[in-house]
């Protein structure tokens, strides 16, 4: 799949990640409150929360990545949100495991939490204390595309994605290039957003439009799962 700077280059600004996480453990909000204490140096959550060094975390679950009124995010996170990527428990889990691995351009100075259980506890606390995002109003972000959301919700078959990937990797190298970005490690929501845009013709590129129109939803989900897991 050959792309130009005006196409998948937007995806390269978004997120890179390690292998997709297994089903998340049940989190304990009480234990998460203790784990949140170091986070409180930069982030507030709960009643009267405001932005500090980092944005407040109220309504984080379901909020567009890189979007919180009154806070200026890095270009990397803002680009992901513009593509329709949302904070879910799964994306937050991936981010907390290694922020700079998931979003290389983030300004967040935090090495990450390697314990699956600790991340689950912290996410449970954030979800319970901060609640879920309210409906976004016009001008405050891009609402997720229902077509993209339905594909992202599918459980992609990594093995099938690996089988399909050769057509992509013929042009997209592991390290990427000036006009053809790397797509390995890309967050599934961002990968799917780009592919759907080419398939629908929202983004124009002769080769990409032709290739993506041959892909069904299951195939896109499989490719997204594979490239998210590829190192």
Name the superfamily (CATH) of residues 9-13+144-229.
Cytochrome c-like domain (1.10.760.10)
> What per-residue confidence (pLDDT) applies to 12?
36
> What per-residue confidence (pLDDT) applies to 229?
84
Domain positions in the chain: 9-13+144-229, 29-130
Strand partners, 16: 186
Q: What fold does the segment set 29-130 form as a domain?
A: Cytochrome Bc1 Complex; Chain D, domain 2 (1.10.760)
> What per-residue confidence (pLDDT) applies to 146?
80
- With 0.75 as the threshold, say if the pTM is over it: no
User: Which SS3 state, helix, strand or coil, does residue 64 take?
Assistant: strand
198 Cβ contact list (under 8 Å, min separation 6): 7, 205, 208, 209, 211, 212
> What per-residue confidence (pLDDT) applies to 127?
93
> What per-residue confidence (pLDDT) applies to 159?
94
- C-alpha 206: how far from chain center: 27
* Tokens 């806070």 -> residue: 71
> What per-residue confidence (pLDDT) applies to 169?
85
> What per-residue confidence (pLDDT) applies to 2?
37
pLDDT, averaged per 10 consecutive residues of the chain (231 residues), comes to 37 39 69 95 92 92 86 85 82 91 85 93 95 54 68 90 90 63 74 85 85 94 89 65
């Amino acid at each position: 799949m050959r792309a130009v700077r005006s196409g998948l280059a937007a995806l390269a600004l978004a997120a890179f990640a390690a292998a997709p996480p297994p089903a998340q453990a049940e989190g304990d909000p009480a234990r998460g409150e203790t784990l949140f204490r170091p986070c409180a140096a930069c982030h507030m959550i709960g009643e009267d929360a405001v932005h500090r060094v980092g944005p407040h975390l109220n309504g984080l679950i379901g909020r567009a990545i890189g979007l919180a009124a009154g806070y200026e995010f890095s270009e990397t996170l803002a680009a992901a949100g513009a593509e329709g990527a949302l904070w879910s428990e799964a994306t937050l889990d991936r981010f907390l495991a290694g922020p700079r691995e998931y979003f290389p351009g983030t300004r967040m100075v935090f090495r990450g939490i390697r314990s699956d259980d600790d991340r689950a506890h912290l996410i449970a606390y954030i979800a319970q204390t901060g609640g879920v995002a309210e409906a976004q109003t016009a001008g405050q972000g891009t609402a997720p595309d229902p077509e993209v959301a339905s594909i992202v919700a599918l459980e992609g078959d990594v093995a099938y994605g690996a089988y399909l990937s050769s057509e992509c990797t013929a042009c997209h190298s592991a390290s990427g290039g000036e006009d053809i970005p790397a797509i390995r490690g890309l967050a599934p929501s961002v990968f799917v957003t780009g592919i759907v845009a080419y398939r629908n013709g929202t983004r124009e590129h002769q080769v990409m439009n032709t290739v993506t129109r041959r892909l069904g939803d299951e195939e896109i989900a499989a490719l997204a799962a594979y490239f998210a897991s590829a190192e």
